[in-house]
Every structure is written in structure tokens, then in C-alpha cells.
């Protein structure tokens, strides 16, 4: 028992616990943002907003890949006390990725009218999204530096500020008539404020640029797998929303969007713990060569918390839908347990993949790529009703989890 309490009193354990519970509280705030929109917008309008958000997730796929890359390599550089590489990597990524980000943003603006027609949404929001892509890239790099440095307290405080500003601005913009476009604009403006603060916090590591010889980074192998991870992790929770928006009526799209947001509580509740795997396991693996302890401790907590959360959704689906979404969305309550089960399996899969990437085994992201390609094909075939879409997603997530669990078991067996 004394050993257990000593383990909990270590700086890493304390900061990790603060990071998790702080992020959990921020996650509650983000869901309050969605609940605010559910109350202020009609189902068809909320479906429009979630279509924007899902498209933003897909456009942010490269940013997620960059985030994983930054966290892994900066954490390793920090473990080896290589401050020159930490400084040089920042400018290397900005130089390489800025043209790509600007090009995608320009295409977004150019095809804003087409996208508004496909997703039954307002053209202005797509223009705003296009203009914000470079800011999103810069924010991703800077926030990832903070995570790699394990500055969890700063991240949590900035997260609190971010959600508070988003809530205030969204309420104001919607009340003055901007509808779903106002919610998108609120998120972007609050992100700019957070970006400025994060940049100030890491200024000593990146300013001024190191005058030593420019370092060459061999990132190609990990970057490819990291991109697959980003594609899968964002597409599997976004593509279905966009496809339902396309195949079903605006009302049913709103019902599915509400179901999706509430069901994702399971995944986003576990997200802070999953996010700890890559920086901590990478740092430990680089410093000591072993990170199994990180996997077992975080895995145990994720398993317990995930099962408890899913059990609540299974027992009280109608109460949860009525309380969080309101009576307008109650017809989706019967599908909530299935959706929650999908999110639990998805969380386990992301945890396993994050650990495998941290220990230098990113090739198993190919399993995720297969699932990502399969999802739209399955929805294309099975979209006669919402229950078909939800059930097919559950089966897909189950197959993905079993495949990754077996791959992890084989890797650990080889190591032992």
C-alpha cells in the first residue's frame, strides 16, 4: 500500500492526474458548448453545424499527423537534452507545411459554393474555414510543443480560457442571427487567443532561431504512419456524420449528429489519458528503453473508466438524451448504447496504436487505414436507416480492435 501511495505522489503521476481531470473538465465545457447549440438551434441547423465541424476534422487530418510527429520527436529530444533539435524542428515544420496549408485553404474558399450545396449549409462558413487553416496549423505545432514538454498545467489553464471564450462568443453570434456560422466563427477566434498565449509560453525554446548548422530531420517514415493515424482517428468519427447528412433528411441528420456528439463523450472522456501515451511513453522509451509500465498503468485506468462510462449509456439512454439534447432529439435514444459501444472500442484502438507508435512500431496504423477506407463503403451499402449506419460502425470498430489487440499481444510476446 505504501508503494502504491508513493507511486501516486511522484511528479509525473500528479501532473498526469491534473492533466486528465483538467481535460475532463474542459471536455465537459466543450459538451456544454454543444448543448448550448442544441438548445439554440433547430435539429436541421445543428446538423449543419456538425457538418462544418466534421469537415474541419477531416481538413485537420494533416495537423493531427503533425501533432503526433512533434510530440514524439520533441519528447525524445527532451529526453536526450537535445535543445538544438527542439529549436530547429519548429522552423523546419513551418517552412515545409505552410505552402500546403495555404493551398488547401485557397481550394476551400474556391469551392465554398459547391460545398455549401453538397452539405446543405451556408457558403460563408466554408470561406471562414478556409481562411483559418494556416492558423490551425501553427496552433497545432505550438500546442504540441507544450504537450511534449509535459507542461500539463499550462495546457489545462489555456483550455479553460479557450472554452469560456468560445461559449461567450457563440452565444453572442447566434443571438445576432449568424446561426451555425456564428458557432464556427466563435471557435476560430477563441483559438487565435489560445495560440498567442501558447506561443508566449514556449518562446524560450524557439526564439531566437538556433545559429548552429541546420539540422536534417529524417521524419519520412514516421510521418507517413502518423498521417495514416490522423486520417483514421478523425475520419472514423467524422465521415459518417457527413455521409448521413448527404443520404438522409436534414431532420434525421440532426438526430444522428446529436447521437454522435453525445456518444463521443466516451471517447473524448478517455482522450486525455490516450493523449498522455505518446509523450510519456516516447520519453520513457528514449530515456530507459522500456515503457511497459506506462502501458499497463494508463491501460488499466482507460479500461475501468471506459467500461463505467459505457455502462451508464447502456442503462440510461433516454434520460441522457432527454437531459443533454432535449425532447426534439429523443427518437435517437435507442441507438445511443450501440454508439457508445462503438466509441469504447474506438478508444481502445487509439490507445493501442498510440503506444505502438511511441515504441517505434507505427506500421500497425495500416490496420486503421483499412478500417478508414471500409467505413464509407459500408455506409454506402447500408444506409436504409440510421440503425444500419450505427450497427455497421459497431461491427467495424470491433474488428479493428480485435486486430490491433492481437498485433499488440504478438509484439509484447516477442519482447518478453
The residue count for the chain: 416
- Structural domain includes residue 309: yes
Determine, yes or no, domain membership for 368. Answer: yes
Structural domain contains residue 1: no
- Residue 3 falls within a domain, yes or no? no
Q: Is residue 2 part of a domain?
A: no
**Residues near 116 by Cβ (< 8 Å), separated by ≥ 6?**
122, 123, 125, 126
294 within domain boundaries: yes
CA end-to-end distance (rounded Å), the chain: 27
How far is 58 from 66, CA to CA, in rounded Å?
Answer: 14
The span from the CA of 350 to the CA of 262, in Å, is 19
The DSSP secondary structure of 173-236, one letter per residue, reads: HHHTT-HHHHHHHHHHHHHHHHHHHHHHHTHHHHSSPP-SPPPP---HHHHHHHHHHHHHHHHT
CA 112 to chain centre: 25
Residue 267 confidence (pLDDT): 87
Give tens-digit pLDDT for 368-409.
Answer: 989 989 999 998 888 888 889 989 999 999 999 999 999 888
pLDDT number for residue 4: 44
Residue 95 and residue 27 in contact, taking contact as beta carbons nearer than 8 Å: no
Q: Which helix (DSSP H) or strand (DSSP E) does residue 242 occupy?
A: helix 239-247
Query: What is the rounded CA–CA span in Å between residue 122 and residue 44?
Result: 12
Residue appearing with cell numbers 483559438:
191
CA-CA-CA-CA dihedral for 46, 50, 53, 57, to nearest 10: 170
The dihedral built from the CA positions of residue 326, 330, 396 and 355, taken in this order, carries a sign that is positive
Place of cell 465521415: 239
Rounded Cα distance between 138 and 199, Å, is 9
Domain that holds residue 329: 9-415
One digit per residue, the tens of pLDDT, for the chain of length 416 reads: 455 445 445 555 666 667 667 777 777 777 777 777 777 777 777 777 777 777 776 777 777 778 878 888 888 888 777 888 888 888 888 888 888 888 888 888 888 888 777 766 677 777 877 877 888 888 888 888 988 887 878 888 888 898 888 888 888 888 887 777 777 788 888 888 988 998 898 888 888 877 666 666 766 667 778 778 877 877 788 788 888 888 888 888 888 888 887 888 888 878 878 877 877 787 777 766 667 777 888 888 889 988 998 999 999 988 888 887 777 788 888 899 999 999 999 999 999 998 888 887 888 888 998 998 999 999 888 888 888 998 999 999 999 999 999 988 887 777 65
Residue 57 belongs to what H/E stretch? helix 43-59
Cell of 46: 445543428
In a domain, 244, yes or no: yes
Q: Which residues contact 374 (CB under 8 A, 6 or more apart)?
A: 396
Question: DSSP class of residue 123?
Answer: H
382 to 52, 54, 399: CA distances (angstroms) = 24, 20, 17
The predicted structure's pLDDT at residue 399: 94
In the chain, the number of structural domains is: 1
Cα 274 to Cα 157: distance, rounded to the nearest angstrom: 19
Where are the strands (E) in 274-361, listed by range?
none
Whole-structure pTM value: 0.68
Report in angstroms the alpha-carbon separations of 131 from 51, 125, 225, 281.
18, 10, 28, 36
- Torsion sign (Cα): 214, 218, 224, 225: negative
Considering the domain boundaries, does residue 4 fall inside one?
A: no
User: Alpha-carbon dihedral of residues 254, 258, 263, 265, nearest 10 degrees?
Assistant: 140
Amino acid at each position: 500500500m505504501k508503494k502504491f501511495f508513493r507511486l501516486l505522489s511522484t511528479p509525473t503521476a500528479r501532473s498526469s492526474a491534473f492533466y486528465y481531470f483538467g481535460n475532463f473538465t474542459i471536455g465537459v465545457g466543450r459538451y456544454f458548448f454543444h448543448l448550448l447549440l442544441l438548445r439554440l438551434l433547430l435539429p436541421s441547423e445543428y446538423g449543419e453545424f456538425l457538418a462544418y465541424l466534421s469537415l474541419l476534422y477531416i481538413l485537420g487530418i494533416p495537423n493531427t499527423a503533425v501533432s503526433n510527429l512533434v510530440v514524439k520527436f520533441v519528447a525524445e529530444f527532451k529526453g536526450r537534452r537535445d535543445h538544438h533539435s527542439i529549436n530547429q524542428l519548429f522552423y523546419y515544420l513551418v517552412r515545409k507545411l505552410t505552402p500546403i496549408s495555404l493551398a488547401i485553404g485557397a481550394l476551400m474558399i474556391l469551392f465554398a459554393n459547391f460545398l455549401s450545396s453538397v452539405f446543405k449549409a451556408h457558403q460563408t462558413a466554408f470561406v471562414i474555414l478556409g481562411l483559418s487553416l494556416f492558423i490551425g496549423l501553427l496552433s497545432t505545432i505550438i500546442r504540441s510543443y507544450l504537450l511534449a514538454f509535459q507542461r500539463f498545467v499550462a495546457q489545462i489553464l489555456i483550455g479553460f480560457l479557450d472554452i469560456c471564450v468560445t461559449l461567450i462568443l457563440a452565444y453572442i453570434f447566434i443571438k445576432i442571427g449568424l446561426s451555425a456560422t456564428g458557432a464556427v466563427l466563435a471557435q476560430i477566434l477563441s483559438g487565435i487567443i489560445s495560440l498567442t498565449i501558447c506561443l508566449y509560453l514556449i518562446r524560450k525554446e524557439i526564439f531566437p532561431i538556433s545559429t548552429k548548422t541546420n539540422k536534417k530531420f529524417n521524419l519520412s517514415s514516421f510521418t507517413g504512419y502518423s498521417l495514416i493515424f490522423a486520417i483514421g482517428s478523425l475520419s472514423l468519427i467524422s465521415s459518417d456524420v457527413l455521409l448521413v447528412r448527404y443520404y438522409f433528411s436534414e431532420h434525421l441528420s440532426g438526430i444522428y449528429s446529436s447521437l454522435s456528439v453525445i456518444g463521443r463523450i466516451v471517447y473524448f472522456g478517455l482522450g486525455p489519458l490516450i493523449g498522455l501515451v505518446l509523450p510519456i511513453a516516447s520519453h520513457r522509451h528514449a530515456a530507459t528503453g522500456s515503457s511497459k509500465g506506462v502501458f499497463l498503468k494508463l491501460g488499466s485506468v482507460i479500461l475501468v473508466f471506459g467500461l463505467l462510462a459505457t455502462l451508464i449509456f447502456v442503462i440510461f439512454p433516454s434520460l441522457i438524451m432527454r437531459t443533454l439534447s432535449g425532447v426534439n432529439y429523443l427518437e435517437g435514444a435507442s441507438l445511443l448504447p450501440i454508439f457508445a459501444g462503438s466509441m469504447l472500442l474506438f478508444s481502445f484502438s487509439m490507445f493501442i496504436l498510440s503506444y505502438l507508435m511511441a515504441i517505434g512500431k507505427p506500421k500497425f496504423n495500416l490496420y486503421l487505414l483499412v478500417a478508414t477506407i471500409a467505413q464509407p463503403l459500408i455506409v454506402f451499402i447500408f444506409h436504409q436507416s440510421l440503425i444500419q449506419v450505427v450497427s455497421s460502425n459497431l461491427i467495424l470498430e470491433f474488428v479493428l480492435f480485435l486486430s490491433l489487440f492481437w498485433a499488440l499481444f504478438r509484439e509484447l510476446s516477442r519482447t518478453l
